[in-house]
Amino acid sequence: MSHRSLPIGTTSKPMAARQGRAASPRDRNRPIVLLWSMATMAALQLATALPVQATTATSATTASDTGFASSAGVVATESPAAASAGAEMLAAGGSAVDAAIASSLAVCVVHSTSCGLGGGGFMVVWNADEQRGYALDYRETAPAAIAPILFEIDGQYEPARSRRGGLAVGVPGEVAGLFAAHRRFGRLPWKSVVMPALRLARDGFAISPHLARAIAQHRDALAGDPALSQTFLKADGTAPKAGERLRQPELATTLEAIAQQGPSAFYSGARAEALAEAALAQGGVLTTADLKAYRPVWRKPLSSSYRDARILTMPLPSSGGPTLLLALDVLEGHDLKALGAATPTSMHLLAEILKHGFAHRAAAAGDPAFDQPSPFPTAAKIARQIRSFRTFPPEAYQGSGNAARDAGTAQVSVLAADGSGVALTTTINTAFGAFVGVADTGVILNNEMDDFTFPAPNLFGLAPGKTNRIAPGKRPVSSMTPTLVIENGRASVALGGSGGPLIISATLQVLSAVLDRHATAEQAVLAPRIHHQWQPNTLLVEPEIRDIDRRALERLGHAITEIPAVASVSVAVARPGKPASGAGDPRKGGAAAFAAPRAARGSARQARRSKPAPAEQAEPTAGAPP
């Protein structure tokens, strides 16, 4: 497409991806900043490596015509232990989905602040055998007894009620979702993919500096919940230090039951009763009937093209997927090589695209089973509104509704040697979710009700949009943006991030670096990033953005705020004719692991074909694993 009205370096047709520059490596891990009102610091955790037969590092590379010379695939995520767990599955002959499930369960043991059995997520899958993409929505749902009035005090919305305590808890989808994915695409026994996480919980792991900081930051809140206090604090109530060993025997017991019995061990019986009772005890309305009724939903992934590659990403209720595709559509009309990497011109263009995308996000995102969101504007319309010489106040971007305010999450990105791929993002929302621990289970319940909008003005005085209003059985909008790139029938890039609304900006920038500048996974992840989400009207920049460039952006009208990191992105890359690479983001202590190849496997170990699903299909009641 051509956007000749914009005097920023443009082109009338997509250009080939070009070689990018590598940023200087970061010499330390930094906490992620999650934007809430202005810039709210949120602790994200690190983890230590679980010894398995896989090469584990911050990044890894191998080479062949298909990307994998001597490997069964690559896994990138937010912890060495979790990356190794996924690589272990690939090395054992497992599918990309097996690896993603194992890594997801493991990262939620060592990153308990971000995700876990009490949460939910999104998964985008490319099945190379079928040449077909799938999207699995196992986002939490609102309990049947939920109502907006429950979040009010004297007729006024009280934010604390949707952020902490039992009323903030949605019906968890994690276990049902992962099991549904395994039933369709798994090769290894269900028990096998659960085992790495079970070992971590049972045997323990060294607390990383990042996790230690998270526990210390939230010590008072953790101390207020007996189950959480028992798990994360010492007997005298103090926070453990980095390097000390953390074991979670109750969680190990729950994982063992799930490994043996499948979702029924979680959604019915004594554990379901314990989940409901824990929420009820803190003012919630979650019931065992809600748990029994939960179903993940298979959806049709969003699909678009960019630089001659096919992009698959998550549809609604993800707002990240639609916003990402809109941004890419606008970017494709520009010669990014001419603009340069991290120059004032390229950063201004990116900021303006993001401001438009986030402004329309509120009205264009919702649960498709409940809402009829407005369509996103066309890329051409947005391009006509962008000016190279200035930015504009928020009202000029025609947005409506609340600005983004979700947070947290963990990302797993997997590419298998057979050409299949998975991008998975999982969350309990903000750090430690609702701060509701479930006794004797090791489960931390989410606070996803805070991702809905409520019938009251937000912190910026904006009237709420008509979509994403809380209702029984409804799924809240999320910024999670799991994304795959398909080239020559193979998944060539898998990526996504954690960090609330910053996920969208960070995923876009890493993906552009890979496709536009032929960056390796490590180069793409290490490059400095920016973020703008329309409101608040602040351009967030990482420390590596030069002062001279910041001053240039300020002359264009941007208000600049430096933050330690713009989200955390995990990416796996295996583009045609190029070395495969993977990188977990050092901003969060991430890692990538290549799986050692196995000798030829017997027919009994060959992949079973997946069972095709309609575009939108709720999973039936999940029983015990085969």
Q: Are 142 and 471 in contact (CB under 8 A)?
A: yes
Q: What are phi and psi of 274, to 5 degrees?
A: -65, -40
DSSP helix/strand/coil, 156:
strand
Specify burial of residue 14 (Cβ count, 10 A radius: 0-12, 13-18, 19+): middle
Contacts of 469 (CB under 8 A, 6+ apart): 148, 452, 453, 454, 455
List the beta strands (DSSP E) in 204-362: 205-206, 245-246, 297-299, 302-306, 309-313
In 3D, which of 136, 168, 77, 179 has the Cα closest to residue 572?
77
- Find the helix packing angle between 344-364 and 547-555, rounded to 10°: 60
What string of H, E and C letters represents the secondary structure of 173-229?
Answer: CHHHHHHHHHHHHCCCCHHHHHHHHHHHHHHCEECCHHHHHHHHHCHHHHHCCHHHH
DSSP H or E segment with residue 160: helix 160-163
The active-site residue, picked from 48, 66, 287, 409, is 409
What is the Cα–Cα distance from 375 to 369, expressed in whole angstroms?
16
For the chain, how long is the longest CA-to-CA vector? Answer: 68
At 135, list the tokens: 């999207």
At 249, list the tokens: 């025997």
Q: Are 571 and 77 in contact (CB under 8 A)?
A: no
Instruction: Give CA separation, 398 vs 34, 392, 558, in Å.
Output: 24, 11, 18
Q: Are 399 and 319 in contact (CB under 8 A)?
A: no
Does 391 participate in catalysis according to the annotation?
no
What is the Cα–Cα distance from 513 to 285, expressed in whole angstroms?
45
HSE-up of 168 (CA within 13 Å, CB side)?
27
What is the Cα–Cα distance from 113 to 594, expressed in whole angstroms?
26
Handedness of CA 519, 522, 528, 534 (dihedral sign): positive
In 3D, which of 312, 309, 279 has the Cα closest to residue 172?
279
Q: Are 273 and 233 in contact (CB under 8 A)?
A: no
| Helix, strand, coil fractions of the chain, as percent rounded to 5 | 35, 20, 45
What is the Cα–Cα distance from 149 to 169, expressed in whole angstroms?
16
Q: Are 506 and 497 in contact (CB under 8 A)?
A: yes
At 5, list the tokens: 């009205």
What is the Cα–Cα distance from 403 to 401, expressed in whole angstroms?
7
The total number of residues written for the chain in this structure: 626
What is the Cα–Cα distance from 444 to 278, expressed in whole angstroms?
10
At 517, list the tokens: 């500048």
Pairing of strands 490-498, 530-531: unpaired
What is the Cα–Cα distance from 307 to 537, expressed in whole angstroms?
31
Residues identified as active-site? 409
